[in-house]
């Protein structure tokens, strides 16, 4: 008997899940799952099915501290099972990595070279991998990539309007949140039938946010491109930005590249506009009395609606709209506002189903099915890693 540990090390959290490899398909729910959240904040927390408590960490090595605590709990959940491997979610795989892979020295070097393309996420995943290699030297380490699902993008969707020699340097559109979209592509047809195999628009709305247009379960267009900054407005990220603004800041305000990165990744989006919070729950509570919160939410929804329209045009219509990730799964009000902006498509919500976060939230007379599906990135990574093992 053996098990597989899936780790998802993000910019402020580490999610984990342990799966029994004897199960076909992999057990859902897993044997054990949880997260360490608020890693770089004043009070990180450890949560799993049995525990929920503050977790003191060394801020100089927060990821290592959190992993040490997670791995210390592992033996009692493994029981008599052997640990067959650890699979890591890695945001960027570049051109080369379009399938799950075993991690060795040369692969890690290649992934390290991609840090400039995903500076908010890639370093954390690599730090987690290297720490696990040190603590579990005899256990295979594997990676699944968020960019991999989008390798089916048509060439025209990969291109950027820049000189062709830059494409040879890897400057192109990649797409992200691939594990989440791959999970939806696999599960939604089981839940909702053939409609999900048609023209499907998925909205992954969390602290990071993107849309993906799928046909026959494959990615045909997406809002994130070269980096995880592109597309929708997000919690603290700007999303698509007129490059003239950046040239202006470089020229007249003398921003350094590091200052620009900090502005676009950490001080923009809902947080920057509102001056209050990156959390839609906080902004919804405050919007009646806080003009910044009201403006931020209005632009957030507007950008989603506008990009939905663009992807519907690319597909030539729409059969199903799916919401996932933190905001998409749990904010009935944000879903309502988005669907109200897309009413021209024939979308009509069942208010009670929406408020209950039901799997199907569209009304019977809606021309488009609207569904809510909690994402399972760790399960998706474990499923792919199991096949590789």
Identify the residue whose tokens are 């640990």: 83
Question: Which residue numbers belong to the known binding site for ATP?
Answer: 15, 204-208, 279-281
Question: Strand 209-215 relative to strand 141-145: parallel, antiparallel, unpaired?
Answer: unpaired
> Residue 366: which of 333, 330, 340 has the closest Cα?
340
Binding-site annotation: residue ranges for substrate: 89
Distance from C-alpha of 332 to C-alpha of 218, rounded to nearest angstrom: 27
Q: Residue 101 belongs to what H/E stretch?
A: strand 101-102
Among 146, 230, 242, 350, the active-site one is: 146
> Which residues line the annotated binding site for Mg(2+)?
8, 377
Structure token pair of residue 384: 């792919």
Tell me if 180 sits within 8 A of 212, measured CB to CB.
Answer: no
Annotated binding-site members: 8, 15, 89, 204-208, 279-281, 377
Asked if residue 10 lies in contact with residue 121, where contact means CB atoms within 8 angstroms, the answer is yes
Q: How many CA atoms lie within 13 A of 123 on its CB side?
A: 9
Sign of the dihedral defined by the CA atoms of residues 144, 149, 155, 160, in that order: negative
Phi-psi region at 199: left, alpha or beta (left = phi > 0; alpha = psi -120 to 50): beta
- Residue 240 makes CB contacts below 8 A (sequence gap 6+) with 223, 230, 231, 232
Q: What three-state secondary structure class fits 315?
A: helix
Catalytic annotation present for 146: yes
Residue found by looking up tokens 């592992």 in the block: 74
Q: Are 266 and 228 in contact (CB under 8 A)?
A: no
Strands 101-102 and 199-205 come out as unpaired
And the tokens for 68?
């040490």
Nearest 10 degrees: Cα torsion 306, 309, 310, 316:
180
3-state secondary structure of 54: strand
Helix, strand or coil, per DSSP, at residue 142: strand
Active site residues: 146
């Amino acid at each position: 008997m053996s098990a597989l540990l899936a780790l998802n090390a993000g910019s402020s959290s580490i999610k984990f899940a342990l799966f029994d490899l004897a199960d076909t398909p992999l057990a859902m729910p897993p044997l054990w799952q949880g997260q360490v959240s608020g890693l770089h904040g004043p009070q990180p927390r450890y949560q799993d099915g049995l525990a929920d408590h503050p977790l003191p960490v060394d801020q100089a090595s927060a990821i290592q501290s959190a992993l040490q605590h997670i791995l210390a709990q592992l033996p009692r959940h493994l029981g008599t099972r052997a640990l067959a491997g650890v699979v890591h979610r890695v945001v960027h795989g570049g051109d080369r990595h379009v399938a799950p892979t075993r991690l060795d020295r040369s692969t890690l070097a290649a992934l390290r070279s991609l840090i400039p393309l995903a500076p908010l996420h890639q370093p954390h995943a690599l730090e987690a991998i290297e720490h696990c290699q040190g603590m579990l030297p005899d256990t295979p380490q594997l990676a699944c990539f968020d960019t991999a699902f989008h390798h089916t993008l048509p060439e025209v969707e990969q291109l950027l309007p820049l000189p062709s020699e830059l494409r040879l340097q890897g400057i192109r559109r990649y797409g992200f949140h691939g594990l989440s979209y791959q999970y939806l592509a696999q599960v939604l047809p089981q839940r909702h039938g053939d409609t999900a195999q048609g023209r499907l628009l998925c909205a992954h709305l969390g602290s990071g946010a993107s849309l993906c247009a799928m046909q026959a379960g494959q990615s045909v267009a997406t809002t994130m491109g070269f980096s995880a900054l592109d597309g929708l407005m997000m919690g603290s990220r700007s999303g698509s930005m007129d490059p003239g603004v950046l040239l202006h800041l470089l020229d007249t305000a003398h921003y350094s590249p590091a200052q620009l990165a900090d502005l676009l990744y950490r001080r923009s989006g809902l947080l920057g506009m509102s001056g209050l919070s990156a959390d839609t729950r906080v902004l919804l509570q405050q919007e009646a009395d806080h003009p910044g919160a009201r403006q931020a939410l209005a632009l957030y929804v507007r950008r989603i609606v506008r990009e939905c329209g663009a992807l519907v045009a690319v597909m030539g219509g729409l059969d199903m709209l799916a919401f996932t990730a933190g905001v998409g799964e749990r904010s009935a009000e944000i879903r309502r506002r988005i669907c109200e902006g897309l009413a021209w498509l024939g979308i009509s919500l069942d208010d009670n189903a929406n408020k209950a976060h039901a799997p199907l939230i569209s009304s019977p007379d809606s021309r488009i099915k609207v569904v809510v599906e909690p994402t399972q990135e760790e399960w998706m990574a474990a499923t792919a890693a199991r096949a590789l093992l």
